[in-house]
């Protein structure tokens, strides 16, 4: 239960997070986690200034001092979703202000913003051992989501023979599941490493149209705005994007991914795959494997130790692809709060 405010306590005031709040937000976060994440907050504030329509960041103040903050982002296509959502990236309340409803006020402000913009759900994730955070989210009305969060340790070695289950092939196009040999590779194995079956490289300015066309052929719908936003980040914020495309005389696949150095309370770097696509004409040709293999090599060089993604439970083909590559259920829980029209 939230504690009632005493009669002599200054009221909580809510407003947009400002650049002047930066140092205070970093200090509060460090009090909570025991580790400073200055670079993370700097990136989030810069992203909000660059794309204010996509980022929603609120501050709670009491007596002129920052008491808490909430950082969220509009979702419109991540992980194959069609329905828009607000992703709660981080929320923090100064230890001295906890238990007085500050977090609930911040969350309420985010929900009000979401409803005004025709968004009917707030999504987030939390480690299952984050008991205090999970308790707060439970009291706030969050429920366990249906999507699977899966992850894998990053390694530069072969991922196994995944050609029979290509990540982006539509239902009915995948071959029968094949046994995967994770034993020591032979010389012939090295000659046929998945990433050698296609030219895999980082994004270039001319790739956007091909990526949109491939995505439309897979999903049957237009996600131009979402993909354009990811594409812009990939080209202009190279510190956090590690996206790739695959070519065989033409663009035949793409992985949109980023390195995450702080969302959801993380203190260690992790890579997140937002979306992966392979041209239907190249389904089963090992393109998805080639891109994932090269992504692992690149992340290993960057000293990123884990990679994560979110998959809908009914997407058996994509789950099969990632599981055969070594992914398994994450220690993080997917959480969702569905917002009432009457709020």
Structure confidence by residue, pLDDT tens digits, 126-158: 999 999 999 999 999 999 999 999 999 998 776
Split at pLDDT 50, 70, 90, the class of 77 is: low
Task: Give me the mean pLDDT over the 236-254 stretch.
Answer: 84
Q: Which carries the bigger pLDDT value, residue 154 or residue 162?
A: 154
Q: pLDDT tier at 180 (50, 70, 90 boundaries)? A: very low
- Residue 263 — very low, low, confident or very high, per pLDDT cuts 50/70/90? low
Question: What one-character DSSP code corresponds to residue 163?
Answer: T
Q: What is the pLDDT of residue 8?
A: 44
Res 1 pLDDT > 80: no
pTM assigned to the model: 0.79
Give the tokens for residue 115. Answer: 């409803």
What CA–CA distance (Å, rounded) separates 30 from 40? 12
pLDDT at 172: 32
pLDDT at 79 over 80: no
Q: What is the mean pLDDT of residues 255-283?
A: 81
Q: Name the CATH superfamily housing domain 12-119.
A: Gcn5-related N-acetyltransferase (GNAT) (3.40.630.30)
Determine the 3-state secondary structure of 23 from DSSP: helix
Reported as a pLDDT band with limits 50, 70 and 90, residue 123 is very high
317-330 per-position pLDDT tens digit: 899 999 999 999 99
What is the full DSSP assignment across 243-282?
-EEEESSSEEEEEEEEEESSGGG--S-EEEEEEEEE-GGG
CA distance 147 to 137: 17
Q: For residue 212, give the H/E element and its range.
A: helix 208-219
Higher pLDDT: 219 or 197? It is 219
Answer whether residue 193 shows pLDDT above 70.
no
pLDDT at 343: 45
Which of 13-22, 81-90, 145-154 has the lowest average pLDDT? 81-90
**Mean pLDDT across 52-62:** 91
Portions of the chain given CATH number 3.40.630.30: 12-119, 149-329
Give the mean pLDDT of the chain. 81
Q: Cβ distance 223 to 215 under 8 Å?
A: yes
Beta strands per DSSP E along the chain: 12-16, 55-62, 65-75, 85-93, 121-127, 143-144, 148-153, 199-202, 244-247, 251-260, 270-278, 306-311, 328-329, 332-338
Question: Do the beta carbons of residue 124 and residue 71 sit within 8 Å?
Answer: no
Q: How confident is the model at residue 162 (pLDDT cuts 50, 70, 90)?
A: very low
Instruction: Tell me: pLDDT of 249 over 80.
Output: yes
Quick one: average pLDDT of 95-113?
A: 95
- 88 vs 73: CA distance, rounded Å: 7
Residue 62's pLDDT is what? 94
Burial of 282 (0-12, 13-18, 19+ CB in 10 A): buried
Residue 166 has pLDDT above 50, yes or no: no
Q: For 149-329, CATH number?
A: 3.40.630.30
CA distances from 23 to 29, 39, 44, 93, 307 (A): 10, 11, 13, 14, 30
What confidence score (pLDDT) does residue 150 get?
A: 96
Whether the per-residue pLDDT at 184 is higher than 50: the answer is no
Q: Identify the band that residue 239 occupies on the pLDDT scale cut at 50, 70 and 90.
A: low
Ranking 24-28, 73-77, 79-83 by mean pLDDT, the lowest is 79-83
**Is the Cβ–Cβ distance between 21 and 38 less than 8 Å?**
no
């Amino acid at each position: 239960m939230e504690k009632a405010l005493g009669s002599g306590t200054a009221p909580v005031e809510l407003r947009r997070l400002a650049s002047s709040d930066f140092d205070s937000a970093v200090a509060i976060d460090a009090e909570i986690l025991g580790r400073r994440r200055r670079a993370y907050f700097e990136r989030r504030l810069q992203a909000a200034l660059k794309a204010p329509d996509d980022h929603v960041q609120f501050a709670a103040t009491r007596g002129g001092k920052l008491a808490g903050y909430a950082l969220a982002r509009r979702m419109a296509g991540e992980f194959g979703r069609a329905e828009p959502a607000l992703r709660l990236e981080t929320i923090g309340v100064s230890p001295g202000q906890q238990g007085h409803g500050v977090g609930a006020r911040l969350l309420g402000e985010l929900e009000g913003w979401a409803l005004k913009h025709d968004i009917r759900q707030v999504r987030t994730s939390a480690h299952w051992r984050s008991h205090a955070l999970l308790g707060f989210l439970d009291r706030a009305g969050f429920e366990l989501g249906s999507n699977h969060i899966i992850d894998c340790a990053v390694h530069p070695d072969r991922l196994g023979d995944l050609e029979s289950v290509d990540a982006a092939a539509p239902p009915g196009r995948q071959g029968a599941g094949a046994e995967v040999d994770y034993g020591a590779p032979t010389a012939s194995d090295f000659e046929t490493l998945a990433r050698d079956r296609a030219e895999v490289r980082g994004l270039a300015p001319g790739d956007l149209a091909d990526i949109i066309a491939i995505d439309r052929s897979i999903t049957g719908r237009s996600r131009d705005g979402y993909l354009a936003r990811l594409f812009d980040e990939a080209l202009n914020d190279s510190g956090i994007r590690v996206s790739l495309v695959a070519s065989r005389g033409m663009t035949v696949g793409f992985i949109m991914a980023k390195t995450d150095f702080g969302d959801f309370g993380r203190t260690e770097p992790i890579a997140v795959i937002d979306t992966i696509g392979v041209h239907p004409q190249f389904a089963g040709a090992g393109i998805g494997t080639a891109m994932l293999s090269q992504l692992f090599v690149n992340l290993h060089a960057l000293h990123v130790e884990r990679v994560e993604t979110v998959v809908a439970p009914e997407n058996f083909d994509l789950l099969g692809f990632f599981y055969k590559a070594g992914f398994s259920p994450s220690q993080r829980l997917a959480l969702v709060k569905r917002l009432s029209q009457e709020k």
